[in-house]
Amino acid sequence: MFGQNVEIRTINLNSVRERNEVDVFLQKQDLILERDVEYTLAMYDEDRIVGTGSISGNVLKCIAIDPEYQGGGFSNKIISLLLNEQYYRGNTHLFIFTKPRNKKLFLDLGFYEITSVDNYVTLLENDPRGLRDFTENLKLQKHEGKVVSSIVMNCNPFTLGHRHLIETASKNSDVVHIFVVWEDRSVFPNEVRYKLIKAGVKHLDNVYVHRGKDYIISNSTFPSYFLKEKNAIVKIHTMLDVKIFGEFIAPALGINRRYVGEEKSDPVTNEYNLTMKELLKDYNIEVVEIPRIKNNEAAISASRVRELLRTDDFESLKQLVPQTTFEFLISDEAKTIIGNIKNDKK
């Protein structure tokens, strides 16, 4: 019988050879095995890979089945195994990025569509109440005002530059909602970044800080999926992120302005800002870019702070971060984080 020798195995991600095999298979389907995968399954017929799927954080990704083997229930099998692995890991709220033409497959497997960007990407989640609960919860934190602004930030860690951006927004708005990017791929863990922002804006009584869980899509979650359209990745990612923001988050809080830090030196962020400016017009949200503040001729940035931490230059550091962040950086709690920065070879 066709496909009776099919067998599913866990890939040893430390093995370059095994990774390569999966990658070669995925490339035939216009995908790649992304670097950040934490767990990968492959389906073999004899010694040939005919299907695969992976996990990264709360996302299922890099899923593909050889066209010859489609329709035999193999994808359901792979997804089932990935779901079980996720639940075993304690991740119950899951997401999938896929091409709109493939979304039907996942809609039949307990996933629900959040939104799509044209023919490029569809984002799905496995909880029909996920986004609804998130926005319902936001509505409870709504504050009336003529100008309601929002800033999405990572703050790795919170600097005087970030504070300047928030203060400017605060001064020119009735209400400011800050979303902290929740994904944990920065050296400073999300709760620490959140805590430092909160401490640093205590003096501003119209500023509210939110955990930007799940629906604020950082570029590290976004798959580099679209092999053929590599240059378009930033653009498509921005379109998806902005669409969710404009369609669901902004209306829940009545947001009509978004502040961003000017980023002329970083082409990716600059492209992101430009695209966002264009797209948010459709939702009647104005985008305001704030130039960076400088210290000794160089813009204050979190990456500069991390650089100084590497060399234990606390004197220079003091000029770049608020007192609250500085106190954290010299505390015992920060020791492991600083250790990680030093160990990182980049």
Partner 1 sequence: MEIKKVGVAGTVESSDINIVIEPSDKKGIEIELQSTVMKQFGRQIKNLIEETLKSEGVESAVVRATDKGAIDFVIKARALTALYRAAEINEYSWEA
Q: Which of 104, 129, 132, 139 binds partner 1 (CB under 8 A)?
A: 129
Closest contact distance (angstroms) between CB of 61 and partner 1 is 17
Please identify, using beta-carbon distances, which residue of 109 and 293 lies nearer to partner 1. 109
Please identify, using beta-carbon distances, which residue of 134 and 283 lies nearer to partner 1. 134
* 98/64 Cα distance (integer angstroms): 10
Q: Which of 68, 108, 278, 312 binds partner 1 (CB under 8 A)?
A: 108
Closest contact distance (angstroms) between CB of 80 and partner 1 is 4
- 15 — phi, psi (to 5°)? -90, 115
Please identify, using beta-carbon distances, which residue of 71 and 202 lies nearer to partner 1. 71
Q: Which of 110, 189, 267, 291 binds partner 1 (CB under 8 A)?
A: 110
Site size for partner 1 (CB under 8 A): 16
Closest contact distance (angstroms) between CB of 277 and partner 1 is 38
* 306/193 Cα distance (integer angstroms): 13
Q: Does 128 help bind partner 1 (rule: CB under 8 A)?
A: yes
Binding mask 70-99 for partner 1 (x = CB under 8 A): ---x--xx-xx--xx--x----x-------
* 127/80 Cα distance (integer angstroms): 16
**Helices and strands counted in the chain (H then E):** 13, 14
Closest contact distance (angstroms) between CB of 115 and partner 1 is 19
Q: Does 136 help bind partner 1 (rule: CB under 8 A)?
A: no
Please identify, using beta-carbon distances, which residue of 34 and 85 lies nearer to partner 1. 85
* Beta-bridge partners for 256: none
- Token pair of 53 as six digits: 């799927």
Please identify, using beta-carbon distances, which residue of 110 and 189 lies nearer to partner 1. 110
Binding mask 36-75 for partner 1 (x = CB under 8 A): -------------------------------------x--
Please identify, using beta-carbon distances, which residue of 106 and 188 lies nearer to partner 1. 106
* Nearest of 149, 135, 152, 140 to residue 249 by alpha carbon: 135
Write the CB contacts of 24 (distance below 8 Å, at least 6 apart in sequence): none
* 294/317 Cα distance (integer angstroms): 13
Write the CB contacts of 160 (distance below 8 Å, at least 6 apart in sequence): 293, 295, 300, 320, 321, 322
* Nearest of 54, 73, 76, 50 to residue 63 by alpha carbon: 54
Residues 143 and 149: beta-carbon distance below 8 Å: no
Site for partner 1 in 248-287 (CB under 8 A): none
Q: Does 8 help bind partner 1 (rule: CB under 8 A)?
A: no
Amino acid (one-letter) located at 57: G
The three-state secondary structure class of 192 is helix
Q: Which residues bind partner 1 (CB under 8 A)?
A: 73, 76-77, 79-80, 83-84, 87, 92, 108-110, 126-129
